[in-house]
Chain A
């Protein structure tokens, strides 16, 4: 593999504490190295910003619900068709891009690693087939375990060790990366047409509460030494007044022993920070939530920022999608994935002139700006739930520029304008903080040692943007910055140039990462378990696991567990 040297760029590498220093980055064999020979290909980055490749901790890009979302939205594809070029394949874009377009568009924005956050274990094979088809990106996926019958039974019995071994087995057979919990207890209840409304409601048939599920799995996560924490979508998500549930959840997780590594990651926090008690008096509770987060260190978060556009909501939170259906009357897909989880899909148009939508938009930004430590708050849209990922540059502009925020706010619904905290917040995120929120913090929270930084030994995933921090004030010239983030000057994946000036110029298959967790004793697989598969699943135990050959480019990560 050829050597590459990136010369004279302004480097932002927060994990190594480098803040805009002019320096060279050397690449050999797909890794960052100390130095290269004079034969190395030179990329002149004079006057450009150099960052590690972007990492997205939460983006729905593959699997059963994503694909069903594509199927029910022909009108979404027809407005954004992508023709093939010599280097790229054709496809469709907009809110749920086809697999290839997903890879190209992420790469054009300088992203190199993305995480698919929601995979019903039963649909693991499908998910991996789609991940295989997404080019230019490294990826991994989180299996939904929070309402998995075996886990609920082990937690009820209080047998955390066996539960941990079972989760380790689940990671291996689904080729998963982290424990995903969606509306704990609610999804199981949804199978019977119910939901849970607080973290102490009892789940029917299992006599267990969401609190016990979350705390139990957080402890299991620690026993297994998994690189990421539990990845949590809170109860009562998307309902007015749910911030109190969110605060209770965060307090409940204080009981999990904290040894410097976060015990949980609450995802798309915007949807969990609603105040008021009905849609009529709906308001932001960003201040309350941010105040708690600023004084506690046991968790990390991501934004779930609203974009004003027509998008498609899709989540395993079936009961929440039913609420959305009642609100919008739009076409609705509902599913109950056997004994595992549920799911729902509704197209949704977030509008500036809708008081609730505009307030939601404001909540996301308020949270990101009020939470002082950028290492705790990462930038996402929960693609495509709050908006397509292709709008990230817009969010970056809102974060870095008060002008950009105010320009959007002045077109919003009067009520949302009146209640928004944004006019009172002067903070403008710097490029260094931006590198944290879009790369470093995400890689750190995910426990990806070779990602999100440019130190020696890291994967040679680099993004170069056409921004000169010495001459361009991104807070004032936010449109220039937005353009630069939309079309990276270069994206380098594993040492290979894949994007130049916003055009895809290289071909590369990303790797799929998963965890092989080595436990001291194997998971108990007995006749009782196999019988349960036979009784309650449509797939037999023997046919359930995703075998290695399903994954095109394999990157298993071996973890030593303490059970």
Chain B
């Protein structure tokens, strides 16, 4: 299995679509070293930027050790295999991936898991803005798979989501979580910020902690004791259930913990 480590600190963005288990499949170290990538506007070879080693142990298909926060598009479009990153990583990690697994022991930059279809990403650190969201202007959001973040996430995460699950365990999320989502589930284990679920037309967002504010275009529907997160797991409530976004004639649901949000008690009179 392949172990990569950066030979120096990168000051320019490195676009490394080639760091992908499907691409490495069946190539020896010399061939992998020749794979092309761009550093800034200069075309380079993978071997010029990374030390490439092979260990014969039962490790993930690709392991990257070191800080690669300027390296973008790792695992883009990957269909199988596993990538382990010990360090911080740059933008577009696992963009459009349709299988396999990526684990990061560090923080990830914007657009991680953007438009992903299948597979899983585990982030043992914080995620930046646009987690799982499509590129600017696109409406092709996350269609399936799982993203689990141990830390916080940035703004506009889960935008245009159409399926799959995002679990956020950190204490904060950015604004506009689940913007325009149509399906799928976002589970915030702690607190969520404002403009939650703006423009959502379907799907569900579960907040087990507090919410800063709910958009006025959501209406209270009921109170539920618990809610299903996925086949195996459900979150314990009770939860206020809000429907919206009415501005989009949406039927999305936001579940907000009743115990942690006494400020929402005034909604109960509309039940």
Interface residues of A (CB under 8 A from B): 72-76, 78, 329-331
Contact = CB atoms under 8 A, between A and B. Distances in A.
6 closest cross-chain pairs (CB), A and B:
A75-B138, A75-B137, A74-B137, A74-B136, A75-B135, A78-B135
A331 B137 CA distance: 9
B135 A74 contact: yes
B139 interface: yes
Nearest to A72: B137
A73 B140 CA distance: 13
Interface string B132-162: 0011111110000000000000000000000
Q: Which of A74, A75, A331 has the most CB of B within 10 A?
A: A75
Contacts of B134: 75
A232 B135 CA distance: 38
A74 B138 CA distance: 8
Contact of A330 (B139, B140, B248): B139
B12 to A, nearest CB: 18
A331 B138 CA distance: 10
B139 A76 contact: no
Contacts of A75: 134-140
A73 B137 contact: yes
State the majority secondary structure of interface residues on A. Answer: loop
A76 B136 CA distance: 10
5 contacts: A74-B136, A74-B138, A75-B135, A75-B136, A75-B138
B252 to A, nearest CB: 15
Contacts of A72: 137
A329 B249 CA distance: 11
Contacts of A74: 135-138
Contacts of B140: 75
B76 to A, nearest CB: 12
A368 to B, nearest CB: 32
Nearest to A75: B138
B181 to A, nearest CB: 14
A76 B135 CA distance: 10
A331 B248 CA distance: 13
Contacts of A331: 137
Contacts of B136: 74-75
A74 B139 CA distance: 11
A72 B248 CA distance: 21
Nearest to B138: A75
B212 to A, nearest CB: 28
Contacts of A329: 248
Nearest to B248: A329
Interface centre among B136, B139, B248 (most CB of A within 10 A): B139
Contacts of A78: 135, 138
A350 B136 CA distance: 21
A535 B248 CA distance: 40
Contacts of B137: 72-76, 331
B261 to A, nearest CB: 31
A76 B134 CA distance: 12
A78 B135 CA distance: 8
Nearest to B115: A75
Nearest to A331: B137
A72 B139 CA distance: 13
A494 to B, nearest CB: 35
A174 B139 CA distance: 38
Interface string B202-239: 00000000000000000000000000000000000000
Contacts of A330: 139
A78 B137 CA distance: 10
A330 B180 CA distance: 12
B40 to A, nearest CB: 15
Interface string B234-260: 000000000000001000000000000
Contacts of A76: 137
Given A75-B137, A75-B138, A75-B139, 10 more contacts: A72-B137, A73-B137, A74-B136, A74-B137, A74-B138, A75-B134, A75-B136, A75-B140, A330-B139, A331-B137
A454 to B, nearest CB: 43
A330 B137 CA distance: 10
Contacts of B138: 74-75, 78
A74 B134 CA distance: 11
A74 B140 CA distance: 13
A330 B138 CA distance: 10
A356 to B, nearest CB: 19
A286 B134 CA distance: 39
A359 B248 CA distance: 29
Nearest to A76: B137
Nearest to B136: A74
A329 B247 CA distance: 12
Contacts of B139: 75, 330
Interface in B11-42: none
B207 to A, nearest CB: 27
Interface in B113-138: 134-138
A72 B140 CA distance: 15
A486 B13 CA distance: 35
B231 to A, nearest CB: 28
B184 to A, nearest CB: 19
B242 to A, nearest CB: 22
A331 B180 CA distance: 12
Contacts of B248: 329
A251 to B, nearest CB: 42
Nearest to B140: A75
A329 B248 CA distance: 9
A72 to B, nearest CB: 7
Contacts of B135: 74-75, 78
B141 to A, nearest CB: 11
B265 to A, nearest CB: 35
A253 B126 CA distance: 67
Contacts of A73: 137
Nearest to B139: A330
A73 B137 CA distance: 6
A96 B259 CA distance: 52
A551 B117 CA distance: 48
A78 B140 CA distance: 13
A519 B219 CA distance: 68
A83 to B, nearest CB: 10
A103 B138 CA distance: 26
A73 B134 CA distance: 13
A145 to B, nearest CB: 33
A108 B248 CA distance: 44
Nearest to A74: B137
A200 to B, nearest CB: 36
A330 B134 CA distance: 15
A352 B148 CA distance: 35
A19 B19 CA distance: 54
A72 B136 CA distance: 10
